Chain A
């Protein structure tokens, strides 16, 4: 689990004027994969009106570069779990146990409800494998024919060559 409140503290240190937090790029991924398993009790991390954060319109003073840097930073912050955070949350023993129990029950529920992913089956080339295997071998004349086709094709391609006639870059003579 992650203490999401800590990440938002990192951002203002670098960009005091930054106001955007979670970018809309998150929407491209499967939402089930990125939402926390157990909702964070700390209300700071939750959006004020219950909807996702949206990136506010870029202020006229901010350059494209700064916006890009901010977005990279927030994306990294989303993916990094900061274990060396200055003000780490101190949780008591019983809180840890409670959370661990919550997670395991939630996982148990989800693992039964989620559909099991079937491994992709290889396409079947024929419904009559015995028939194909027992049938006549490829005629040697066919093999010879293909051999000849390949040899002709190679000679045709080896005839393709660049025949340099004149320079592509010439001097313009200005009288």
Chain B
């Protein structure tokens, strides 16, 4: 029982962070995945099904440069808004922002 309790407390830090991100009126979606595209948490317009694409895009973009410290930010631009994808360590985060 003690194991389960500890894990849920730390998980809520991520959940809180995702909620805080959504408080920004321009942000309509946020997604967090691991290196294999598994969903770690999502809100709004981004969900489970986008996990694979998001993680692969970030990985492919990182392959464009030899410098491992030079992390790229992938931007998918459209009329209705932008989706920005960025990796940090072992996770990849995607944020869907609309024009405010």
A150 partner residues in chain B, CB cutoff 8 A: 86-88, 91-93
Q: Which of A131, A154, A156, A165 has the most CB of B within 10 A?
A: A156
B91 partner residues in chain A, CB cutoff 8 A: 150, 153-154, 157
The answer to whether B79 touches A128 (Cβ under 8 A) is yes
A134 to chain B, nearest CB (A): 11
A57 partner residues in chain B, CB cutoff 8 A: none
Q: Closest B-chain residue to A152, C-beta based?
A: B17
Among listed A6-14, A86-94, A139-147, interface-contacting one = A139-147
Partner of A146, one of B17, B41, B77, B86: B86
Q: Quick one: which of A122-169 are within 8 Å of B by CB?
A: 125-126, 128, 131-132, 135, 138, 142-143, 145-147, 149-154, 156-166
The answer to whether A154 touches B88 (Cβ under 8 A) is yes
Q: Considering the chains assembled together, what is the distance between the CA atoms of A138 and B76 in angstroms?
A: 9
Q: Considering the chains assembled together, what is the distance between the CA atoms of A96 and B91 in angstroms?
A: 65
The answer to whether B78 touches A132 (Cβ under 8 A) is yes
The answer to whether A146 touches B84 (Cβ under 8 A) is yes
Q: Closest A-chain residue to B75, C-beta based?
A: A138
The answer to whether A143 touches B73 (Cβ under 8 A) is yes
A151 partner residues in chain B, CB cutoff 8 A: 88
B86 partner residues in chain A, CB cutoff 8 A: 143, 146-147, 149-150
A157 partner residues in chain B, CB cutoff 8 A: 14, 32, 40, 90-91
B25 to chain A, nearest CB (A): 13
Q: Considering the chains assembled together, what is the distance between the CA atoms of A16 and B45 in angstroms?
A: 62
A53 to chain B, nearest CB (A): 43
A154 partner residues in chain B, CB cutoff 8 A: 88-91
A125 partner residues in chain B, CB cutoff 8 A: 78
Pairs A-B, 7 closest by C-beta atoms? A150-B88, A156-B14, A150-B93, A156-B13, A154-B88, A146-B84, A160-B10
Which A residues contact B (CB, under 8 angstroms)?
A: 125-126, 128, 131-132, 135, 138, 142-143, 145-147, 149-154, 156-166
